[in-house]
Structure 1
Amino acid sequence: MGCCQSRTRGDPPKKREPSPRIDAKADLSAGSERALLGVSAAFLQALETQLRQQFGDEFDKLTTSEICTRYVMPLTKARACAWVDLLLEDPAQRPHLAPATVFVSHAWKYSFATTLATVLYHERTEVPGAYYWLDLVPNNQHAAVDLPYEWWCNTFQENIKEIGRVLLVMSPWRDPVPMTRAWCLFEMMHALNGQVQLDIRLPEAEVDGFVDALAEDSDAVMDMLVRVQAEKAEAFKASDRAMIFQTVEATLGFTELNARIKAELRGWCLEQALVAARAREVEDGEGAGFASFCMQIGKVLREFGEYEQALEYYGKALKIRLATLGEAHPDTATTYNNMALCLQQPGPNQGQYEQALEYYGKALKIQLATLGEAHPDTATTYDNMASVYDSQGQYEQALEYYGKALKIQLAALGEAHPATATTYNNMAGVYYNQGQYEQALEYYGKALKIQLATLGEEHPDTATTYNNMASVYENQGQYEQALEYYGKALKIRLATLGEAHPDTATTFNNMAFVYYKQGQYEQALEYYGKALKIHLATLGEAHPHTATTYNNMAIVYKTRASAPLTGTTFNNMAFVYYKQGQHEQALEYYGKALTIQLATVGEAHPHTGITYNNMAIVYKTQGQYEQALEYYGKALKIKLATLGEAHPSTRRVQSEICELTGA
């Protein structure tokens, strides 16, 4: 089974033409050209054969660092030169050299055989004919120890930019060594920051192991992501580590770097899971093994907030289990339970509380008949049903069912268990909803103590508890304490769930509200904006959470109306009113923005053109087409003068006018 491809966000990388082989007479003595030379897969295959002959069985255990000191440096010792210098002088080797098309990012303290195997697998399955930049080849290893950090920094940064594609050797997948090495993270940062294509790859021999682990223990995937913390990376030189960390802080910062790396890894994990699921379905689409695999895939998808896809795979599992095990089987109950979990989550096709309760009811009936009242799985279903009652505002019913769950968990699992912590957390949430804040903090404290001991600080469940405690402090008017705890939650969620996750949006929203209560309106709008961006991407325009965020932004704008406002602020306020369907108020505030712009920047300014365009959109929405045409005309005149006819913004306005006039 092939590895998937993980790409950086943003503009797609430019397509690169295959590198031409080097002419035997070409002069590549120039340092800049030599520094960018890559080697072919055929060269690497021959190298592997030679190294196995020289080192025997020991080869598989040798690190890249050991290959450097025991093979490359003796080979180049006589001239104290780079390996590439010898290759360029050998007519038999020159056809295997060309400008590199793939930059290989790998850990020097890990097996060189694994790096070679990954590169060859990548060439065979992804980019036949590629030329790979391996630092062992073009860099002079005799001089490397004396080169300053600045040289390495500029070399890697410029080479990544010029080559345009990075292959990250991801091994072993449970605890990837590159994630612990400062230079690998430095290379990833420049790939991510420079919109360079990033391929995350396992060696072929580890792919099946990753898929098997998915089938047996999907929690291992989350655990791997939790362990990735760039600020804990090491380097051979302490000074290099310090300088790399300074560079990270000066560019992305560790929180953003962790978030971006984990976003890439999540994409890689999800794609691997889906590819594996499709392959398993072809092999055994109706067997018990495939049903179990679907359950694990569904769990991974659910953990990552992909509820629709999770439901699809849970549905496949349910169909098989009903046909092979029947309704009255614990595994069937588990499937109903997991489907209900997806149905009660926020999203365009979720929040279906009655259907969720129906599925939980089916699960509970089966569990009581087959496992009994005192079983942990029965407790889980009580817990889940209570969460639905809580969401519906039926707090006494919720506490009753949480109480049933807690009683079973304390007897069967003990106090110091994550499941017990979850129930404490949930009960605290009900007390919070009832306004019993001290009781809520007590139960959140019980949950946090267990989570820190069993899951650790950097876990999504721990983030949830911090977030919940912050909400209590907020409602008690302890705003600084609230921001501190929301900050703890946000840091963990960005690192483990990523920016584009509904839970991350929730924390942004909560922090925005605290800033609003403190009168820090600009900060509040910034954080509401972050939440809105996530809601639009994950939940859609028509979701209640999206509408609530628009409403909250409108409240902030209204509240700060007594302060001096700019045309931009009025424009933003108008946009919020427009999205809420309050068209007259939108026009009023666009009018205020226009008045300021005409007085300060004039008629012929691009910002004035934007406001005319926005007003035209509102008039069009209202069906006032004559008025819309008038304002589109004003906008078009400005855009033609300032942006030109070929600009996409100008063309959009022309298209709107054509639509209204039927031209």
Structure 2
Amino acid sequence: MWTVLQWYMTRDAFIGGLCFKIIKPTTMFKGGKPCISAEEADELLSYAEVGFQQDLKDRRKQPAFIAMAHHFVSHAWRYNYNNFLDALATWDAQKGSDVTTYFWVDAFVVNQHIADTYPMEWWSTRFAQAVGDVGSTILVSMPWEDPAPLKRVWVIWEIFCVHQTGARFDIAMPKKELDGFRAALITSFTKVQTALSKVDVELSSAFHKSHQDMVHDEIRRTIGFTKLNEMVQLRMTRWLIGMATRELQSMKEHASEANWKDRMGLQDNLARMLRESGNFSGAEFYFKELLKEVEDKQGKEDAMTMSALNQLAVTLQKANHIDEAMERHRDCLQRRRQVLGENHEETLQSVSNLAVLLSLRRPLTVEIFDEARSLYSLAVKGREATIGAKDPRTLYTQSNFARFLSEAPEPSTQLFEESEQLHARAVENLTAALQQGHPLTLASLHNQACSWIDRCLFEEGSLKGPRVDKAVEQLRLVHKLRIEKLGKEHPDTQQTEKKISEISHLQKQMEKEGGNNANMEAFATWQDLFKAHFEEVSTAEQFKQVRSYMFDTGADLVFDDLLHAGFLDEDGMLTTGMQPYNFMARIITGDTVQRKCQIEQEYLGAHSSRFIIAHNKPESEDMWSSSDPSWLGKASMSKNHRFLAFKDLRWEFCNILAIGIDSGSAHGLAKLQEMKNAATHWVKHAPGWSPPDKTAFLLAVWPLTGVPCLHLHIVDLACSGPSYERLRRKLLPLDDAIRVLEEEVKERPRDARP
């Protein structure tokens, strides 16, 4: 049978043809012998089953063709079979290992005689679990300019299974295709990004229309098209960042005068992509490195140098490093004015950037307001004169100016009128030029709605009426479109979500107060209050302050934050669906299974009935020792790093802040002591771990953690990595948390409640 496959490789044939012309005809048997039709056959097998039988006969003569798979392969059936094999061989060669690699390929492993009869339940349970059990998925993708797999419903489903099970993910291409892709990383980076972001699950198709409908129905029932689009795009972006990072590192190792400009271009592209994905620390690292190298080689007044300086300033601004961003923006503006002149577009860009940054200063004094207003006016008029009044850059500056005017420290009806006129022109013209879903149009719609809210508060002192309803409706539209275009975790999406939440809190508080003069801080979300008063929680004293402050301001704010985000239901239980995705909650319920930790669960002993062990994402585990800025804070903190969580979905187990919030500090203290005992027992019995006194037991306080489920980081300090140093300031030792609750119990011995 292997000779037949080798013959097929010599022909210009496709995987689908391979299935119908080779696999099916050679896997039908009657009385143990091959037959020519399925009707007369008494045994229909998969190609792998037949191969396994041959392995049993030939095991002494040659290596096995069939073995446990190392990688699951996702692909389109219309691929040329030779190109498909070329892609896998090229990918495997990059590993540099002499160990034979076994791939799970559906055409061979799934019984093709009955594959069409499997119900969706089988694909969403047995098949999904198989993807997780293999632990690594390779997507064969070609051509890179228009990846065929991202249009196929089964491939999308397989990527979804990868996400659900936490399996590793990589992409393979034929050598010629890969060479072209690498070249495009340097010469056509925007084209590469566009190609890999072309995901619309609702438009994906299958060979059988019934399969397409079946998978689409399951997606609607579970995760939804919008969330799945976001998840697939996130996977592709992560892969692209990893690919660009590796390519840049290779270019650095072979640095030369000949590749210098290309290397700088790739580093600039990588930094921009990191910034767009919300990894500001990674972007800052690469932009600072880029600026130094370009400035040393080209000088301070070179165009590349000034561009790098501007990009660094923008990144610092987005990361909320206001003081350093201000310094960089002023430096860039000064250089551009001297070299390019006052009315050059790049100079006006710096004028606009500085105006935006000034508008973010708090408190916004009259002096700062006047300087920013002057800069905004200069930027708008300058751009109208140079690039035109309807250029998107002019209109976006106009939108920011309008939003700024509505936040004046000394507001007036005249300023609001000017603001509304600017908003109306910006929204109308941006929508016409770029369509409603473009990020710049969405930003202008967000700005306009926020200004309407400000005007209502100023002129009417309330948040009722048609103007407020219109503003909230517009913000909800922006939020929906930003999720579709940018993803739920993107800072712009979260900005709109936060604004909607603020308005809701403010409306409730005004209704409760029956007036309009309540303290604005009472209207904020818990995340707002936390960020305004605390930077880190890594000591007992800091934890005591945060916990006391939470109870002083109202613990219901934490509950409301999680409820609004969808992490809690109305009954105060952690949600376990796919939207939003709570990784730890799904581990607790068994909706997500980690094969490795099923074995490690045994090391908990008697504690296993009340606690569960989990591990990080495979790619995060792999990068535990990496100092690459794109992984700092995201990779595992040690070669040995696990999570320990209560098997309890009640809301007081959503975070260390809430422990004992309903049941009292004494009960919360008992639970934390129980957690320490479980963690200590696990470390003592887990193979390859240092003893408990060489292991850190750490907790994260909401919102310094993005996972709203109380879990303990168990970190082996004998093999800790760079991410441990990065995250230490955000993490609270378990013993410190226990100490604070012990004090609470002593101070309130009767009810033992904070």
Alignment TM-score > 0.5, same fold: yes
Residue-by-residue CA offset, 1:492-511 (whole Å, 9 max, x unaligned): 44344444443333222111
Q: Which residue of 2 aligns with 1:585?
A: none
Find the partner of 1:213 among 184, 197, 201: 184
Moved more, 183-192 or 69-78: 69-78
Alignment of 1:224-623 (within 5 A): 224=195, 226-284=197-255, 287-347=260-320, 349-368=321-340, 372-392=341-361, 393=364, 394-434=368-408, 436-437=415-416, 439-452=418-431, 455-475=434-454, 476=456, 477=463, 478-519=467-508, 528=525
CA contact (8 A) 1:255 1:491 kept: no
Taking the aligned partners of 1:180 and 1:606, their CA distance within structure 2 comes to 38
Q: CA deviation at 1:515?
A: 1.7
2:498 maps to amino acid = N
Taking the aligned partners of 2:550 and 2:441, their CA distance within structure 1 comes to 27
Structure 1 or 2: more helix by fraction: 1
Using structure 2 for the length normalisation, give the TM-score: 0.61
1:155–1:636 distance in 2 versus 1, CA, 3 Å: closer
Structure 2 counterpart SS, 1:136 = helix
1:241–1:337 distance in 2 versus 1, CA, 3 Å: same
Alignment of 1:118-157 (within 5 A): 118-126=87-95, 128-145=99-116, 149=120, 152=123, 156-157=127-128
Taking the aligned partners of 2:250 and 2:215, their CA distance within structure 1 comes to 41
Q: Which residue of 2 aligns with 1:87?
A: 51
Q: 2:23 matched to 1:65?
A: no
Q: Which residue of 1 aligns with 2:65?
A: 96
1:443 maps to amino acid = L
| Structure 1 residue runs without a partner (length 5+) | 1-38, 562-567, 573-604, 619-630
1:83 maps to amino acid = Y
1:148–1:285 distance in 2 versus 1, CA, 3 Å: same
1:198 maps to amino acid = F
Structure 1 counterpart SS, 2:239 = helix
1:245 maps to amino acid = H
Aligned residues between the structures: 544
Q: Which residue of 1 aligns with 2:627?
A: none
Q: CA deviation at 1:412?
A: 4.4
CA contact (8 A) 1:291 1:318 kept: no
Structure 2 counterpart SS, 1:107 = coil
Taking the aligned partners of 2:90 and 2:665, their CA distance within structure 1 comes to 55
1:83–1:375 distance in 2 versus 1, CA, 3 Å: same
1:366–1:557 distance in 2 versus 1, CA, 3 Å: same
CA contact (8 A) 2:445 2:475 kept: yes
Q: Which residue of 2 aligns with 1:4?
A: none
1:129 maps to amino acid = T
Q: Percent identity?
A: 22
1:499–1:333 distance in 2 versus 1, CA, 3 Å: same
Q: CA deviation at 1:154?
A: 5.2
Taking the aligned partners of 1:203 and 1:527, their CA distance within structure 2 comes to 53
1:280–1:442 distance in 2 versus 1, CA, 3 Å: farther
1:250–1:450 distance in 2 versus 1, CA, 3 Å: same
Q: CA RMSD in A?
A: 4.8
Taking the aligned partners of 2:315 and 2:305, their CA distance within structure 1 comes to 16
Taking the aligned partners of 1:184 and 1:255, their CA distance within structure 2 comes to 17
| Structure 2 residue runs without a partner (length 5+) | 29-35, 39-43, 457-462, 511-520, 539-544, 560-567, 573-647, 683-691, 698-732, 743-754
Q: 2:162 matched to 1:188?
A: no
CA contact (8 A) 2:74 2:139 kept: yes
Taking the aligned partners of 2:293 and 2:166, their CA distance within structure 1 comes to 43
Structure 1 counterpart SS, 2:483 = helix
Structure 2 counterpart SS, 1:108 = coil
Structure 2 counterpart SS, 1:198 = strand
1:659–1:488 distance in 2 versus 1, CA, 3 Å: closer
Q: Which residue of 1 aligns with 2:136?
A: 165
Alignment of 1:46-61 (within 5 A): 50-53=7-10, 55=11, 58-59=12-13
1:638–1:199 distance in 2 versus 1, CA, 3 Å: closer
2:304 maps to amino acid = D
Q: Which residue of 2 aligns with 1:623?
A: none
Using structure 1 for the length normalisation, give the TM-score: 0.68
Taking the aligned partners of 2:275 and 2:360, their CA distance within structure 1 comes to 19
1:487–1:65 distance in 2 versus 1, CA, 3 Å: farther
Q: CA deviation at 1:443?
A: 3.4
Taking the aligned partners of 1:541 and 1:654, their CA distance within structure 2 comes to 12
1:110–1:379 distance in 2 versus 1, CA, 3 Å: farther
1:271–1:163 distance in 2 versus 1, CA, 3 Å: closer
Q: CA deviation at 1:136?
A: 1.0
